[in-house]
A and B are shown apart, each in its own frame.
Chain A
């Protein structure tokens, strides 16, 4: 068995280990754009989600707790993004050994030298690009698939490219299994195993682009495939301490384009807030243990 076969084999094995985490019951109520889980009470949220999505109460509780911390950290900026976070079952996108830490703030290993970003970073990036229903969003670096799954609750046109073949296949497998179970919103995601450097010209141009792959410059093709007025976000720096770069493509009156780089806080220096650990509604330290 050569190395690539071994990788593919490992990927299938891992996909199986993922899918085994997917609950057997079908999703009771299919997704629609008006779907908004309650956010005023933990138990109400859990009950609503069990009734509508058929998910595990344990993870739902953890998801709600993390949601509250994210609100405090101002990682979710509007109701649609909040709902997107609350409706995305993050536990389906992590490796089994990390399930116990799925809603912690930390980024987690998903093999192949790739991580699933912490919920705070995903929330912040998704909030920054402020996706409107019907907008085209391109993600470079599908990875775990969680980011695109989140986006699929905000628009019906999500495109995502993964360079590592076994990872792309694994994540596609997870999407397919979840779709089969009733997560129809994941049909909004178009996946491709390719070099994301060149974007997805056939599907472009895009209103928003998220790049999560490491690169020493912004790929020109992606800037070209970004619509005028579009936004691109790129996390820069080591995992866990990443700063989000926001890139705007502006068209001048003479038709020429200008690219501006900024941070996502519009020039404000935002204090770092230790990602607190919640138990119930009490803060019990942080995750540096």
Chain B
């Protein structure tokens, strides 16, 4: 009997502890599930950029909660059960209410710069969504405070619950559409709440929260309809909203999955012919009518899907820029890197390909094209005997296959964003990197042609220059001696550009064929072997482009004399009605005979005498393209790139971004002319977020001082080091997590899956680390620095070698890829679980209770900063730099750790908070 009593006590304790840990895990899981769900709401309702800010928002919730708990620690300790209960009960109702109200005050992203009201609406959205995070953070913070002696285990439950919930939400996306997805965090919250009250032996409350959860889920589903509010207020400026406005629009397909909310609309009002030659109007008998449907992913798009054309209308394909390689190649073996809406594949088939291998990394797209209900509108193209499907990234396939192709086509893949009013998203474009181009070139058979087509809708040119420099660099790496003879480039002003690379170089006869075709389509020849370029105009055009954006044009605007001069030119009002009235119109915008700042007055500018004969009919953007290729192929591009107004560095696997074209050094100069950067607001928003995060973090650090806690605080030793320590952990951890999400997209091909795998993997393995860290508590002074060094070395190594490793992983079946990815995440994540729980437990042991709570907040603050800093560092310096920064933060934490474990003075405890 004597042995039974302790055993029963242990059992009783376990009966309480296990549900408690499960409850913590589930509530932490509910918080992470809510983050992902809200990200989906933003992605579908407006644009995904705002979703990524939600991560910061959740972290902010934790910081704010910790500061409040910290300020009123005594009260919270005394009323821990009541306050935790209230915080817990509020999570569900706040989630439902915040989401509902947020849909009533939608903001319009495209007016963010021009309309001050939109900023407030965005702010209101963030404030609303902050509320449930705040209540979740309060609950977890209070539980941490209450269980600080066993922090490692609670922290393990917290991290593991969060990580697993990430995975649960990923799977739930197969069942729940974006407008229903918040039910998942509500379910997790309900289950967590029940368990918490069970652990607390409070059956009444357990029943109450079960009822409350049911009411919340019902309210979430039914209130919007009852109040006449949309489930998700979809911006009228999203592609799908336009489709819905067409009178005969009909949604003919929908599929929800972690790969997006894919919808297909049919309407006779849809017309697709990306980059169609203007000459089609006169040489093509008739464009095929009513043959398109539009495919939308998360409301973005459309990608045009085309029915099969009757034979007499198939000439249409000749007028598309992706037809170029078929001008030279008869019966080619073709590879289409990204299937998309299938137009490239159709062009390949109509271009006479003997076989077409198409890659599509989004299984939802393939599923749609195989769906019987869409068979009619998709021309059943995937079942064409000539078509072979690769169900993963074409870039990965080509980098591993021994097969060789006559044509590799990458046409307008992923580039719909360039014509999207939402502007650029900071998203990785691994299909367009220098490494990808090299893979494509290596996969070419002898004499094979790589053909890349991209939108050319920017003035001054931005994306196309990045594309040119990327392909130029790849061509020179692939065939250093013959690159200049292997490239042919065309463009249409404010439409598309196509770059052809031929393995082994073009023959004279081929060039003649290409030029004839170019002329027949009225495209502009940008580069071909031997095309002359007048370098005397280089400096002038670079200066003018720089001046057009950052020149001191305000001096002109502020000078009324000039305005008057232009305005008072009534004598020249009559203008000819000839082909180009403004050409002869002296009152045109360049009437600026009176304009001393105008280009015509520029002493370095081109004069009629210096210009080559065709300059007058060539737009500057075309000249710039020619200039770029001249220097790319003949040397001297680096110097030109440095002088050009925007960033034109090649895309690499380390820096795979078209977005973020403003050079970092010019950021300050954008402030008085944000109008011209409206297409890069995704990037500018990141800077704004970073600024706000820094201010918020500083406020949260200073807030306790304002409330007079400085007295107590000053008596706690090692305070500065402790702040640095937790700041480093906050910054370091989130930067690895967010940075690796971007990096792992290389192998996983999909940002949503990558995010879920990283969140789940990082948190679960870190949770395990935190659990194991309990074993080294006593020897932490000696062992933890070694752990830090281990983390730093691993991160540096990952920064250097992860790219090739992920490329290698990418060739395996998806399940294996997931396994490999988890295996890659495990070592650093496991070690990264040690520092937080070790230090927190030591703070508790040393009775540094205030620092214990505050440390949590500091960690949260710097996580907010880190999350915002990652894309900025990645776009400016590359993804490896993100891991290097993180590695530096972990090394800096080593000396700071000794401050954490410095004993507090005895008097600290006696002073009331």
Contacts and interface: CB of A to CB of B under 8 A. Distances in A.
Contact of A264 (B246, B582, B620): B582
A125 to B, nearest CB: 12
B491 to A, nearest CB: 10
B619 to A, nearest CB: 5
A105 B675 CA distance: 10
B560 A165 contact: no
A248 B522 CA distance: 13
Nearest to A6: B228
A238 B110 contact: yes
B566 interface: yes
A243 interface: yes
B557 A269 contact: no
B563 A272 contact: no
A47 interface: no
Given A259-B279, A271-B556, A237 B457 contact: yes
A46 to B, nearest CB: 18
Contacts of B275: 216-217
Which of B272, B281, B460, B616 is packed against the most chain A CB atoms within 10 Å? B281
A262 interface: yes
A25 interface: no
A65 to B, nearest CB: 12
Interface in B612-627: 615-621
Contact of B590 (A128, A266, A274): A266
B277 to A, nearest CB: 8
A66 interface: no
Given A77-B587, A240-B675, A112 B245 contact: yes
Interface string A223-236: 11000010100101
A12 interface: no
B544 interface: yes
A207 B280 CA distance: 20
A273 B557 contact: yes
A263 B577 CA distance: 18
Nearest to B572: A78
B599 to A, nearest CB: 5
18 contacts: A39-B567, A71-B564, A109-B115, A127-B589, A130-B575, A195-B268, A216-B275, A231-B580, A238-B421, A238-B423, A258-B522, A260-B522, A266-B590, A267-B617, A271-B548, A273-B553, A276-B554, A276-B557
Contacts of B599: 268-271
A72 B556 contact: yes
A71 B457 contact: no
Given A72-B562, A250-B579, 20 more contacts: A77-B589, A79-B570, A80-B573, A114-B236, A124-B589, A223-B278, A224-B282, A237-B458, A243-B458, A257-B282, A261-B492, A267-B616, A267-B620, A268-B589, A271-B551, A272-B673, A276-B554, A283-B558, A286-B673, A288-B671
Given A78-B572, A229-B579, A240-B114, A113 B273 contact: no
B459 A237 contact: yes
Nearest to B119: A289
B589 A240 contact: no
A78 B677 CA distance: 30
A173 B518 CA distance: 47
Contacts of A234: 494
Contact of A72 (B241, B242, B273, B560): B560
A33 interface: no
B577 A217 contact: no
A100 B672 CA distance: 22
Given A243-B494, A288-B675, A248 B580 contact: yes
Contacts of A220: 276, 280-281, 284, 287
Contacts of A281: 560
Q: How large is the interface on A (under 10, 10 to 19, 20 to 34, 35 or more residues)?
A: 35 or more
A164 interface: yes
A219 interface: yes
Contacts of A248: 579-580
B691 interface: no
A154 B278 CA distance: 29
Contacts of B282: 223-224, 256-257
A111 to B, nearest CB: 7
Closest 6 CB pairs of A and B: A113-B236, A220-B281, A223-B281, A72-B563, A217-B276, A106-B114
A241 interface: yes
Contacts of A201: none
B224 interface: no
B583 A266 contact: yes
B678 A261 contact: no
Contacts of A239: 110, 421, 678
Given A77-B587, A261-B494, A272 B548 contact: yes
A30 interface: no
Contact of A78 (B245, B458, B573): B573
Given A239-B678, A288-B674, A130 B585 contact: yes
Contact of B113 (A82, A108, A260, A288): A288
A200 interface: no
Contact of A231 (B269, B421, B581): B581
B247 A268 contact: no
Nearest to B267: A195
Contact of A274 (B269, B564, B675): B675
Contacts of B545: 269
B116 interface: yes
A111 B235 CA distance: 10
A31 interface: no
A113 B237 contact: yes
B683 to A, nearest CB: 13
B380 interface: no
Contacts of A269: 460, 541, 544-545, 547-548, 599, 620
Interface in B434-462: 457-460
A273 B111 contact: no
B578 interface: yes
Contacts of B237: 113
Given A197-B271, A224-B281, A270 B589 contact: yes
Nearest to B117: A97
Contacts of A273: 553-554, 556-557
A82 B116 contact: no
Contacts of A270: 548, 589-590, 598-599
A122 interface: no
A108 B679 CA distance: 17
Which of A135, A237, A263, A281 is packed against the most chain B CB atoms within 10 Å? A237
Interface string B111-126: 1011110000000000
A44 interface: no
Contacts of A264: 582, 589
B731 to A, nearest CB: 31
B591 A271 contact: no
A233 to B, nearest CB: 11
Contacts of A71: 563-564, 566-567
B114 A78 contact: no
Nearest to A218: B278
B482 interface: no
Nearest to A224: B281
Contacts of A75: 589
Contact of B678 (A72, A101, A240): A240
B549 to A, nearest CB: 6
Contacts of B570: 78-79
A106 B115 contact: yes
A73 interface: yes
B236 A214 contact: no
B557 A283 contact: yes
A247 B278 contact: yes
A133 B567 CA distance: 21
A156 B575 CA distance: 18
Interface in B725-770: none
B581 A130 contact: yes
Contacts of A238: 110, 420-421, 423, 678-679
